[in-house]
Structure formats: structure tokens, C-alpha cells
Structure 1
Amino acid sequence: MKKLLSLPENLVSQFHQLEQVDQEEYFCTSDPAGTKVGSGGGTAHLLHQSWLSNNQQAPFNEWLEQEQRIIIHAGGQSRRLPAYGPSGKILTPIPVFRWQQGQRLDQNLLELQLPLYERILQKAPKSLNTLIASGDVLIRASENLSNIPEADIVCMGMWVSPEKATNHGVFFCKRNTPSDLQFMLQKPTADTIQANTGDHLFLMDIGIWLLSPKAMQILMKRSGWSEEQTQFKDGQVNYYDLYGTFGPAMGLVPKEDDTEINELTVKVVTLPNGEFYHYGTSRELIESTEIIQNQVVDQRNIWQRKVKPHPSMFVQNATTDITLTSEHHHLWIENSHIGQHWQLSHHHVITGVPENNWQLKLAPETCLDLVPVGESDVCIRPYAFFDKFNGTLAGDAQWLGLSLSKWLQQKGISMEEAELNPDTDIQFAPLFPLTDEPTEELLRWLIDPANDSPEMKALWLKSKRLSAAEINNQANLLRLYAQRANFRSINWELLAKNYQKSVFYQVNLEDAAKDFAHDNIELPSPLGEQEEAILRIKGEMFRARVAMLKNNDGTVHEQRAFKILQQTIVDTVKDKPAHPQLNAFDDQIIWGRSPVRFDLAGGWTDTAPFCLTHGGHVVNLAVELNGQPPLQVYVKPSTEHKIVFRSIDLGLKEEVSTYEELANFAQVGSAFSIPKAALCLCGFHPDFSTITYPTLTEQLKAFGAGIELSLLAAVPKGSGLGTSSILSATVLGTLSDFLNLNWDQNEVCHRTLVLEQLLTTGGGWQDQYGGILPGLKLLQTEAGILQQPVSRWLPDHLFTRPEYHNCMLLYYTGITRTAKNILAEIVRGMFLNSTNHLRILEEMKQHALNTFETIQRGNYLQLANHVHHSWLLNQQLDAGTNPPAVQQILNQVEDYTWGHKLLGAGGGGYLFLMAKDERAASMIKKQLEQNPPNHRARFVDFALSPQGFQVTRS
């Protein structure tokens, strides 16, 4: 997915180096110099330049159709937000949200914008392959996106009040056809909106438009593009306004006549629970950030314990040697040092200030920006919080809250003396002195109206001065970024030491580890056992990652992290020891059996540590194979005081007569690891028993019998059907009956989670609940160490009625992959708050809820689409989910399916296919039976299990 960015000219050549992004993925240019082209012309110019950079490998119109692209307009002078004019508002540093995990300490607006834009394009029809958005807004959607229909143009809108809508473009749609655009107005008055609300709904344009190649070609033409010459007429793009001219010509009853645009089909899609934050002015910089930070006030979701003196106070990439109080509201300090002799008030934006020992007093609304220029110079730019930097010098232009004429008068300077042209736009007026060493004397003279120092007046007059526009064009962004990185390096050490009142353990620790390793930052002290387990886990994994990045061995720290997780979960049953009592006649067999599970949506969200801090949502179903529950356990008493294990499917046997032998269960691959660990949890080990015995033999004598336990797993290893977890639960459930433990299904499933931690295989809770509980259901948990899902059963007719069931196929690929290796890598990402991992997992949670609703509606096609989306999400989380051998199978049949996925962790095992119809299902069977990938591959009959786990006696 290509990103095309229109940036300030000075940023274009340095963008990839500054942001460390791939040149193939990001293309940057700026609007043509010296001319205004508008949002439409800017889009056309950006597309043309991108095509040229692609060496014109295809004709332009063909190229328009070839790839998905996100276009972001992020140029402009940034007049009302001077602090981020040089680097562009799109790279504005945004503080970590205090309620969100996985964000980067040095995140910027672009980084926060892109995930939503990417999700929209992924969900859009292939014909809508160009997304256009603005670079000075942050748009968030707390719910999964609505379906995006086929159309020439789809515009995203939001429900807002009429008062807010008056400042934006507004879409009007008929109440009975709310997705069809009737017309669009730019900044209509409240009266105009009111006049149209009788039979229309209105939505605010949030600036996100999806356009088809057909619509893009018309936009190109309106911007002066010649299709025949494949260039702009006269060699220059025309001025054209996408939102102000193209927009009003759209719709069924457009307000502007333009036949080609009038004929385009235009749909409006509402952004569900949308949030719109503007970052266009100094005031919006602070107020938008404040609103975001307070979106969540539930203290259980806020890791840091610090209470700020005022919520509109933001300090990042900076050091402050003064105490901030509630009087310092509307404060933004970034990439700066505030020395101990500074005096601040309120409504300040302070950026770029190097380390200093100045004595400065800033009056309310005074802002300060120091910008590196060249190799060693610094441009001093003071301004007022509400300065707009527009208008002529002789007119209404203001600087430092005064008309420029007034400021000059106070300083005893004429425009002629200052070599200023009264007709100049203030953005282009040379006001800001350039110096190799900024001094407090010059700063005080600039910002204090009463300071009439003749020396500073003379210095200002003779200094080389830059205009705001020249600052944007001449800023040394590499120096600016380097200073920011130095401050951030200092911040890292302080944040880590002060972790209880900072965001340290909630940020992306993978990203933090890179900075700690690169800058050789001192690691924080290991956390003591009095701290929450989740913090200790993250701390150890962080130390392991730093060690690895420094080419040292971090294995011991990683092992500690997994050990703490293991112990935390195991401890949940330590206070509930078992007292096993024989509950069978000497000739009686207790027979337990369970189905396997199909996971449809939300897999991985049930895995610790993610579910411990976020909760999980999973949709799955219990399934029998070839008419049988494939996982079976047989337990009977024996006359010898020992334990005998047998595996019917493997043909193996093992006898155990000591606690040491029984506790030797941690080796993955051992045929009897599961029943050994299960018997320990059932009280046949001192760690989990109410009564302590000197030996296992003595305990079995007191118990009254030995134990014979036989297993049958009629499912291939690495199947992806939750076999090991469900077999573990089946063993525990059967033993609970045999030993008179009276565990309910929740207790059996929770102890299965503990058992898997004892085996070091890890894993989540969805497998055991999916197989033990019958039917089709949504399983949900809240954050917390004790994970006990709430089950919501679903109608099952999509899986039982012949017209649907006959379209569903289960195919064993013959390819196996151990889930433990996949699991360890993904869990590592969870420990380190990987931004990408957490974003995908949150989307998976929401996707599970959407799948739940789709099944309730009984829509087979939509369910198939959801299953396929689950498959895509799994691949995003782990690239190894779909190895080449599996893709070769899919290549043969995917044209016959609406959706498909490998069940479980992926990489192999069973493939679930949802065919387009019964004929397509027959074609799939024919194709794969004639061209199997290996000698083990085969189709397997399945049926929904209405019983789940069952236990009976002979």
C-alpha cells in the first residue's frame, strides 16, 4: 500500500532519513514552487510525480488502477502552528495516550493517522484504490468500520452538531437513503443546515475520500491534465479545489454543474463512533491532545499513577528544572530545556530550546521557537499563542499579540529602518534574528514590550533575519531531530526510574530497547517481587531485548519473564489444593470424550499476557470429526499402587511410581506430559495436595488403588484444532469425576490453562472452552489474572442446515507446525507492547464481536467474509501463518470460496473452506483429490457438537 505525501519543500529530501521509512513505500514531493494549486491540483501533481518516479512503466491510466495508495496533503506554511512549520504538521510529536499501551515515545501525527487509513483501504472494494486525506487531523474510530459499498467515490462522514458542521464541508443525504449523497456544501451556515434537515440527514466531511480510477481521471482533467499528451497542459498543473469545487458538483442533486462529476456515483459512509481532532493551530495542538488524553478516565486502564497539576499541560522530549503548577495550563514544551531560572505562566508553546541557564520570564500567551539553520546557526522565533501570521505589515498583521506597527513603535523602530515593506504578508517578513549563540538578553528584548535596550535593538536591526516562510525552507531538520533525540535519551532514563508515575511500561518496549541499546542508556533496576507481576514480566523481557540488541545474551531475562508469567497463573490454583478420593468401583471405567474446536474469529486475543491486560473475545465452535468426538480418555482403578499411562494412538506405555517421575512433565513432545501434569494438579503432588504424603506410593495406598489412564487422540499432531488443550481439559474433566473433585467446566478449563503453563507450552483459554462447551459461541473475558470467559451461545443453522453445511469443507493439509514456536514469538511481542501486535489484537477483538453479530443475522456470505478476514489478520500477526506449501493449496481452490482459513495458529494442519455454493464445493473436492499436496492430505467430515465434553461410566 503506497503512501504519497505532499510535504513542505524543505522536508521532502530529508523525510526518509528522518523517519527511517522505506522509499518504495513512501513517495514524497511538494506543491509546485511559487504557485497555489489547491487540494485537487495538489492531488493531481502528486500523482503525476509519483508516476514519473515509477519510470512510467505503464500508461498513466493503467497505472492508476494498479495499486492501492494513500494520498495525504501535508504541505502548507503552518501559519497558525509555527512550532511545526519547519518539519510539517504531519510530523508533530504527539504524547503517548495515558490509557493506551503500545505507543512509541517519539510517535507523530502521521504514525497515528495511517492505521485507520490502511484499515479503510483494506476494507474498500478493489475499485476504490485511492484514499485522500488531510495531514493536520487525527481521526479515530473506536469500532470496526462499516462496510464500504461499490461506487465511483465514497466519502467518510461523522455525526456532529450543526455548530461544528459550519466550519467544514457537509454531506446531505435523504433520510430514507442515508448512504446516497444528495449534495455537498462547504461551510454552510447553521440556518442553511436547519433548512435542509426536514428531509435530509447531514454529516461532517472528515476529509477522507475514496476514489475510483474513473473519478481520479476526471480530477486529473479538471487540474489541467491532458490524457493524450500524458502531461499537464502548458506544463503546469491548474489550481483546483477538491473539496470546494469538485465536492459541490457531486451527488444526485449537485449544487454545481459539471456533467462528468455529476454523473459519478457517490456514497457516504459514517465513521462508527468517530473522533475528529484538528491540529491546525497552537490552541488545537493542546486542546485536541487534552481531549484525547481524557477519552478514558477509568483508572484501571491507566497504568501511570501520576496526577498532573493541570490536564492541558504537555511536556515531551524535554527537561524542565522548574516545578509546574496548575497555573501553567495550556502548556506545550517539546524538544526543549527549561532552566531553573525560567518563569512560566500559561498558554505557551515552547519548542527547540537548547540546554541553557537563562533567566527568562514568559508573559501569558508568549511562545518561543528556536530553529536550527545551517550547520551552527539558530533562528529565534517568538510569537503569541493566538498569532495567525496573515495579513500585511501595514494592515492587520499581528506579532506577539500586537499589530506589527505597534510592536515596532514600542521598540522605537520604523519599517524603513527595519527594511520592511508595509505591503508584505507577515509570513514573508524577515522578523526573526539568526544567530550562532542565542542570548537571554536578545530573547528578553524580543518578548518584553517594556524592554527598550538600545544594544538589543541595534543587534536585531543588524542581524540577518528570516521570515517564517524562510525558516520553513531553511531549517536544518537533521539538527532539530538530533536535539530531540538527545532530550528523549535523557527522558528514557528518568521515565524508567520513575515508572510508577510514568508511561514507561505501557509504551512500545521494543522501540524503547532500541534507544537504550543505541544510546547506551543505563537500565533501570530490576523490579522487586512487591510489584505487579505484569510489570515484572515486561521489565525482564525489556532487559532481554536490550541485551540482544547489544549482541549480548538476554536468555536469562527472557526465561525469567516466562517464569513469572507461569508462576502467576499457577499461583491462582495454589490456594485451592485438591483432595483426590476414589470415586469408582474396582471394575469400573470412567470414559471422557470431547470434540475439537474450530476458531472463526478472535484467535490469539485469549493468549496471556494480552488477555490479562485487555481481555479477549473469541468466536468458536465444538466439532466432531467423522461422526466421533476425537479426543477420548479412559481411567480405571488398578490393584497395583502405581500409575500406568497408555496412548492408544501412539501405542506407548509408561509406568510412574514416584513424585519425581510424575513431576517430570515439562518436556514438549513427551507422550504423557499432559496426564502427568493433570494428576499433579488433581492432588497427586505435594505442591497441589491438601495432605502431604512421604511418597507417591503411600498416597496411592491411602487413595485405595493405583490408576490406569489411557489416551486416544484421533487427530494428527499440529492440527490447529486445539487438540492438546482440549485433550488436557478432557483428562482433567475425567479425573475430576474419577477422583470426586467436583470441578465445574470453568474450573476444568482454568486448570487447563495452568497445566499448559506447567508444560511451558503456554497458550490461551479458547481451545479448552471451545471444545468442552458445546455448540457455537462467543467467549469473552475481562482484563485480570483470573480468566473466566462468559459464554454467549449462537444460532447454529449456518453449520447444520444442508444448504449451508454442504458448502463447508474441512481439509487436512498434511502439513504440520508446532504452535509453541509461533506462540513464543507472538507472546514476546505482547510482552514488549509491540505497536503492531497490539493494534492487530485489538482489531481481532472487535472482529470477533462483528462475527458474532453476523452469525446472529444468519448471513452465510458475510460469515465467510469474516472468516477470511480472520485469516488475513492472522497473517498480519505472524507471516509464517501462510507458508508457500499452504498457499499452493489455496491457489488451486480460492476462486471457488467466499472465505477460508487455516484453523488455529496456522502454518499447517486443517484448512476450513467456505465454498460459494454446493457446485463450488464439489469442484474444490475434485481439484484437491486429484492434486493432493502430499500423501497425508484428505477431506474430513465434520459436524457441530451439541454436547461438548461428556463423561460416562461403565
Structure 2
Amino acid sequence: MWPERTPRVEHMLLESLDWAAAAAGPDGAARMLAAQADLLGVMAGGEGGLRSGPAGNQAWQHAFSALEHESISAGVSALARVRRDWLGTPDRLIRAARHYERAAQTLIRLAVMGVTERVRLGVGQRPPTGLWVTARCPARADISGGWSDTPPICYEMGGLVVDLALCIDGVKPIGARVRRTSDTRAVRLKICGPHGDQSLELTSVDEFRDYNSPAAPGALLKCALIVTEIVDLDSDATLKNQLNKTLGGGLEAETWSRLPQGSGLGTSSILAAALVSALWTVSGRTYTKDDVIHATLYMEQVATTGGGWQDIAGGVAGGVIACSSPSPDKGVPFAVGVEWLAVPRHLPAVLARHCALVFTGRVRLARNLLQTVVRNWYAREPRLVATFRRLVENARAMRAALTEGDLQAVGDRMNVYNSQKNELTPSALPEVVQKILVTLRPLLLGATIMGAGGGGFLLVLTRQPDQTDAVRAALERLGPAEERLSVHSVSVDPDGLEVTVGDAPLPLRQNCANYAV
């Protein structure tokens, strides 16, 4: 018989978790802090508001700073001191739970940032002033295993995702180009998007300090310049002096994507990888695709956008791949492996004739989605844990289907994956997506929503080849209410990230490791 729950028992549990967190590494401590967040939520007794919400109260900022910049023990102690004043009412308990959840997310981020151990850069020559360095990438289509690449799941269970690198309507849709200029006073940026272009000029180091605010103008470029060590926020040197030292000149950059925001095709992560590679090249660094994958994963943690690694791997590696992280006995820091699948020679061409991308007319809205999934993972919610294990099993089956060139089995695995996404996040398949699936069912072997779902693109695999027009005609019957729907042709891009200096291609070694999962 359990004893009656009292505040004293709950406080003792919180203090025991303090002790356990202070003695653990980043991965273990994150689990303890997440458990404390859950306990604080339980103590609120179902009152006090929603668990998901802001966690930026000034009283907690010193504790967050200590956790990130001093030690886990110092951060845990600081959190406990603040917590004592937040236990009185349900609303304060819920707010305390939010702040503990943010603390756990900070440690997840620190655990992932250890991937920089995999980055080994060499020294080369800077391209001449005025010569453009251009990095172009395909989109990625996750066709099984997605979500298993999400920290901390990927390093606690081991992750496996099967991706296709896709050209869309005949082009690599994502890219960046940079060049050195003779004007060292500024970094000039042009962001080319489907709704117009945006220009930005940065003339001081202070203008880079919002690099970790994703909504800030030019945040992606700012973060990339910091991660590639072209700009140093801790230096007393002016921006002009820093650019002279690291580039021997100023910088002009352009970025573009032919895909709508919220497409589910990994755009922002892949664009970050394109920027990293172009900036390394223009600053005279040599690197491999493995370096790009791990540096970009690190960059996303620095930028506080988080997320997993399959978007990056799919856009950088190219081809038909299984990307993975090691089994949990390896712990952290972990690494990302890429296996180029030994598919039949004809399969990429067959996939191009049988696949199409349908834009659902809705952008993907994933606010709080990642937070909720990670919270349920830490709680070891049985249904969710079982689904994650099935995700990896389905990815293994997809890998086998592709290797055997079995199109029917590929379609079956896509259908299973689509259902698994809906199990993890019921909002993954909104009504418009379900209507599309019902309408297209007679034409299809399989289909799956891209990314986390909720909108964006749907990848379909047709029974017969060359059915893009038939798919388009079937969707037109849905009527004017779905007039934003569009259908796009795809092809498997074998090369992934391509970098050119002027018109000359830059050879990149595909030296990624592979981990059996």
C-alpha cells in the first residue's frame, strides 16, 4: 500500500531527483529534470494551466546560465533554490514545470553539441575576391523511421531513418552562395523566398547577438557565421577587423529555397548545411560531407531550433540512404552514420516514374509538437515507446524492400510509416490530407506525409508509372476549396550537396560512417 501523498513526500522526491541529476552526465541529468517537471505538474493537481507554454521568467535565468556555462551540479542547485518559491499554487507549479522542462531541453542540446568531435577541418586556399561559391542541395523525403532521429530518443534507443534525396521539378530546390568582397565594413545578405526577397546589411558584431532567435532577420546566416568561426561574439575586435582576419575581405551572401515554408522536406536544416559548406569554402577550409552533417547538427543546437539529424543527412548525402545513430550502449556524444543503399541500378529511375509530391495547400504547423513527443518519451508512455520501436523496425523493412527493388513492399512500408506518424501525433494527418489520400487511393501503392506532418508535402507512390497528370486530375475533382493543391515531379538526386567555386565543382568526400541499427 502506497503511503498517502503529502507535500513532504513530494519535496523529498524532488530533492532526490536533484541529487541524481547533479551526479549524472547531460543525458542522464536531462531525464531527471524532465521527471521533476512531470512531478511538479502532478503536484498542480490538474490545475494551473497548460504544461506547454513560455519558460522565460527572469527568476530562472541565472539557473539556466549556470546549467549551460558552469556545471550540471551548479545548475541543478540553482534550479532548486528558485523552485522553493514556486511551490505554493497550481499556476506557479505549472510554470515551474515549464522551466524544468526548458532546463531538460538545455541539457539535451548540450549532449547533442558533442557531435563537434566528429568535425575535422583542413586548411586550403580562399577563392579569389568576387568569385561566387555556390552550394546546392536536394530536398529530403523521409519514407520510414522519422522521429527516431530526434534527441534524446536517437541516443537512448538508437535511430534509423530511410531517406530519398529529391530534385523537384528538375532542380535542386535549396541553396546558398557567398563571395568575398573588397568592402570589409559589412556582411550583406539577400534572402530569396517565394513571397519576395529580403536584404540585410550587418556592420557591427552586436548585430549578430540575436543569432539564436529563429525569428530574427538573417538569424540562419548569423548563426552560420558564428559556427564557422568567421565572426566571434566574444572578441573585442570590430566586425571589420574580424572579417579582415578570417576572410581577408567583406562578405556577400544569398540564400534561396523553391519550397514553401513548412513544407516538411527539411528545408531549413538543409539550407543551414548549404551555408556552412559555402562559408567554409570561402574562408579557405577543407571538409567532407561528414563534417558538414555534424557541424550543421551542432549549429541547429546553437540556434536553439533543435530537431534531429535526418533532414541534414538526407540533403547532404544524396541518393537512397539509411541514416542512423548508434545503439544506446554508445551513449553520448553520438554520431550520425549514412549508408548508401545498394539498390538495383534501375530503381532510382523507377522511383522517379512512380513518385510525385503533392503540396497539401497547408503549411506544416509543429509548434509544441517536438516538446510534447519528448515529454512523453521521457515519461516512457508505453504506447509511444512501442511506436518508436516499430518505427525503427519499419525502417529496417524499408531498407530491405529498397535493396530488393520491391516496389509493392516500398509502398506498404510507406503506408505503415504514415500510420505510425499519426500514432505519435494525431495532428499529423489533418482533414485535407485524409481527403487527398482517399481521393488518390485507387492510383497508389503507398503514400506518406513528409516530416512531422500536419501539412506541407505528401509523397505518393503510384501503381503505374508516369501518373503525375492522373494524380493532378484526380485532385482537381476535390473542387475550388482545395485550389492551393499542387503536384510536382521528382527524381532521386544521386549527389546530394554540390559545391562549385565559380564554375568549377569542388570535390567532396563521402566518408560518412555507418552504424548498424
TM-score by length of 2: 0.79
Higher RCO by CA contacts (8 Å cutoff, separation 6 or greater):
2
Instruction: Choose the corresponding residue for 1:567, options 100, 107, 110.
Output: 110
Corresponding position of 1:833: 380
Return the letter of the residue paired with 1:731. Answer: L
1:536 aligned onto 2:38: no
Any idea what SS the aligned residue of 1:618 has?
strand
Question: Mapping of 1:595-634 within 5 angstroms?
Answer: 595-634=138-177
Distance in 1 (alpha carbons) for counterparts of 2:113 and 2:466: 50
Corresponding position of 1:643: 187
Corresponding position of 1:860: 407
Corresponding position of 1:684: 230
Corresponding position of 1:757: 301
Corresponding position of 1:927: 474
Give how far 1:763 is off.
Answer: 0.9
Give how far 1:599 is off.
Answer: 0.7
1:807 aligned onto 2:350: no
Per-residue CA distance 1:638-666 (angstroms, 9 max, x = gap): 22222111112241011223333223122
Any idea what SS the aligned residue of 2:362 has?
coil
8 Å Cα contact 2:471/2:487 also seen in 1: no
Residue 791 and residue 665 in structure 1: after superposition, are their counterparts in 2 closer, same or farther (change >3 A)?
Answer: same
Question: Mapping of 1:162-241 within 5 angstroms?
Answer: none
Distance in 2 (alpha carbons) for counterparts of 1:919 and 1:701: 53
Return the letter of the residue paired with 1:877. Answer: L
Residue 625 and residue 895 in structure 1: after superposition, are their counterparts in 2 closer, same or farther (change >3 A)?
Answer: same
Corresponding position of 2:494: 946
8 Å Cα contact 1:590/1:738 also seen in 2: yes
Distance in 2 (alpha carbons) for counterparts of 1:638 and 1:921: 45
Per-residue CA distance 1:420-467 (angstroms, 9 max, x = gap): xxxxxxxxxxxxxxxxxxxxxxxxxxxxxxxxxxxxxxxxxxxxxxxx
Residue 721 and residue 937 in structure 1: after superposition, are their counterparts in 2 closer, same or farther (change >3 A)?
Answer: same
Question: Mapping of 1:412-423 within 5 angstroms?
Answer: none
More displaced 10-residue stretch of structure 1: 515-524 or 877-886? 515-524
8 Å Cα contact 1:775/1:946 also seen in 2: yes
8 Å Cα contact 1:693/1:699 also seen in 2: no
8 Å Cα contact 1:663/1:680 also seen in 2: no
TM-score by length of 1: 0.44
8 Å Cα contact 2:274/2:497 also seen in 1: yes
1:522 aligned onto 2:5: no
Corresponding position of 1:774: 318
Instruction: Choose the corresponding residue for 1:732, options 255, 258, 276.
Output: 276
Per-residue CA distance 1:499-539 (angstroms, 9 max, x = gap): xxxxxxxxxxxxxxxx8999746323224555211121111
8 Å Cα contact 2:136/2:497 also seen in 1: yes
Give how far 1:850 is off.
Answer: 0.8
Question: Mapping of 1:117-132 within 5 angstroms?
Answer: none
Residue 571 and residue 946 in structure 1: after superposition, are their counterparts in 2 closer, same or farther (change >3 A)?
Answer: closer
Residue 870 and residue 698 in structure 1: after superposition, are their counterparts in 2 closer, same or farther (change >3 A)?
Answer: same
Question: Mapping of 1:18-57 within 5 angstroms?
Answer: none
Give how far 1:671 is off.
Answer: 4.7
Any idea what SS the aligned residue of 1:622 has?
strand
Instruction: Choose the corresponding residue for 1:723, options 258, 262, 267.
Output: 267
Corresponding position of 1:675: 221
1:903 aligned onto 2:450: yes
Any idea what SS the aligned residue of 1:523 has?
helix
Residue 745 and residue 519 in structure 1: after superposition, are their counterparts in 2 closer, same or farther (change >3 A)?
Answer: same
Residue 920 and residue 654 in structure 1: after superposition, are their counterparts in 2 closer, same or farther (change >3 A)?
Answer: closer
Residue 786 and residue 871 in structure 1: after superposition, are their counterparts in 2 closer, same or farther (change >3 A)?
Answer: same
Per-residue CA distance 1:686-730 (angstroms, 9 max, x = gap): 379xxx552332211223101111001111001111111111111
Per-residue CA distance 1:717-767 (angstroms, 9 max, x = gap): 011111111111111111121112222111211111111112222111111
Distance in 2 (alpha carbons) for counterparts of 1:576 and 1:844: 29
8 Å Cα contact 2:209/2:233 also seen in 1: no
Q: Between Structure 1 and Structure 2, whose CA radius of gyration is higher? A: 1
Any idea what SS the aligned residue of 2:286 has?
coil
Instruction: Say how many residue pairs are matched.
Output: 440
Give how far 1:617 is off.
Answer: 0.8
Corresponding position of 1:545: 38
1:653 aligned onto 2:196: no
Residue 573 and residue 923 in structure 1: after superposition, are their counterparts in 2 closer, same or farther (change >3 A)?
Answer: closer
Give how far 1:840 is off.
Answer: 1.1
Per-residue CA distance 1:808-841 (angstroms, 9 max, x = gap): 2211111112345322221222333332222211
8 Å Cα contact 1:635/1:735 also seen in 2: yes
**Structure showing the higher helix proportion among its residues:** 2
Any idea what SS the aligned residue of 2:447 has?
strand
8 Å Cα contact 2:121/2:287 also seen in 1: no
Unaligned ranges ≥5, structure 2: 45-89, 503-517
Distance in 1 (alpha carbons) for counterparts of 2:498 and 2:6: 53
Corresponding position of 1:376: none
Any idea what SS the aligned residue of 1:612 has?
helix
More displaced 10-residue stretch of structure 1: 940-949 or 641-650? 641-650
Any idea what SS the aligned residue of 2:311 has?
helix
